[in-house]
């Protein structure tokens, strides 16, 4: 099940901001256990991510096949996300062509009418996933990652401008322009990396810890995909 992101939800998260606190040193994640559900405070979740240097050798976007129509209903992954996250539902025509509708882009805190102004962002970009462990995956695992509808944090409809500004950057060099969304963004980034058993590098860990130091420490629940 996917949940609509709204300006009100982002504002509610911002209202919970707390002063900076200390963070535990990162530790190794447990062995892979697909389907395991993990619930723990987000700062503790950060410590579950293994530290490793990134390596982009051999990366090609085409190695992550998307967008697919996994359930063969005529709507590919992009369309499924747009339908699920619409604030005002679009009209669906032949071959799942969508028109009209309205969406909220939390990265830049704006509403967008019509699907043409939206991109579907891989919260943890494909290149970043490759750097963090996906280079060793099978083609099918990378396809599953690129089309992950099993966790509503993995794919997000945002303005094309904000998505292209982000590109393949991690939180070390890019955070949402809407500062009130940054706690949620860091939390979701950590959850997505835990879900797919991806690593982080030391600068990424420091950047996430810095964001979380100005945020609440709610429990985060993740069901692992691999």
**DSSP per-residue codes, 57-86:** TT--GGGS-----TT-SS--HHHHHHHHH-
pLDDT per position as a tens digit, 37-53: 999 999 999 999 999 99
Asked, for residue 2, whether it belongs to a domain, the answer is no
Picking from 27, 25, 31, 33, the residue whose alpha carbon sits closest to that of residue 48 is: 27
Structural domain count of the chain:
1
Q: Is the pLDDT of residue 177 over 90?
A: yes
User: Distance between CA 7 and CA 178 in Å, rounded?
Assistant: 10
Q: Is the pLDDT of residue 22 over 70?
A: no
Contact 105, 178 (CB under 8 A): no
pLDDT of residue 31: 52
| 24 pLDDT tier (thresholds 50, 70, 90) | very low
Contact 119, 158 (CB under 8 A): yes
Asked, for residue 1, whether it belongs to a domain, the answer is no
This model's pTM is above 0.95? no
User: Distance between CA 32 and CA 221 in Å, rounded?
Assistant: 16
Asked, for residue 20, whether it belongs to a domain, the answer is yes
Angle, alpha carbons 63-125-211 (nearest 5°): 160
Asked, for residue 151, whether it belongs to a domain, the answer is yes
Q: Is the pLDDT of residue 6 over 90?
A: no
Identify which has the larger pLDDT, 2 or 186.
Answer: 186
| 182 pLDDT tier (thresholds 50, 70, 90) | very high
Average pLDDT, the chain: 90
What percentage of the chain's residues is helix, strand, coil (to nearest 5)?
35, 15, 45
| 33 pLDDT tier (thresholds 50, 70, 90) | confident
| 132 pLDDT tier (thresholds 50, 70, 90) | very high
Contact 54, 33 (CB under 8 A): no
Identify which has the larger pLDDT, 12 or 137.
Answer: 137
**Which range of residues forms the domain containing residue 210?**
7-54+63-223
């Amino acid at each position: 099940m996917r949940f609509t992101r709204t300006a009100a939800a982002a504002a509610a998260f911002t209202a919970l901001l707390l002063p900076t606190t200390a963070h535990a040193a990162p530790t190794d994640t447990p062995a892979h256990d697909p389907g395991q559900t993990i619930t723990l405070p987000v700062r503790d979740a950060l410590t579950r991510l293994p530290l490793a240097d990134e390596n982009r050798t051999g990366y090609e976007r085409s190695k992550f096949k998307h967008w697919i129509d996994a359930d063969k209903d005529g709507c590919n992954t992009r369309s499924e996300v747009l339908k699920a996250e619409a604030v005002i539902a679009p009209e669906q025509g032949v071959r799942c062509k969508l028109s009209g509708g309205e969406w909220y882009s939390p990265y830049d805190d704006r509403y967008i009418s019509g699907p043409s102004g939206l991109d579907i962002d891989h919260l943890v970009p494909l290149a970043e996933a490759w750097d963090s462990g996906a280079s060793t995956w099978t083609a099918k695992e990378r396809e599953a990652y690129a089309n992950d509808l099993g966790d509503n944090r993995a794919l997000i409809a945002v303005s094309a401008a904000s998505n292209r500004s982000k590109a393949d950057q991690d939180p070390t060099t890019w955070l949402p322009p809407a500062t009130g969304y940054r706690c949620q963004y860091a939390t979701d980034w950590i959850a997505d990396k835990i879900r797919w058993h991806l690593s982080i590098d030391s600068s990424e860990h420091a950047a996430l810890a810095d964001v979380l130091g100005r945020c609440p420490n709610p429990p985060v629940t993740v069901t692992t995909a691999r």
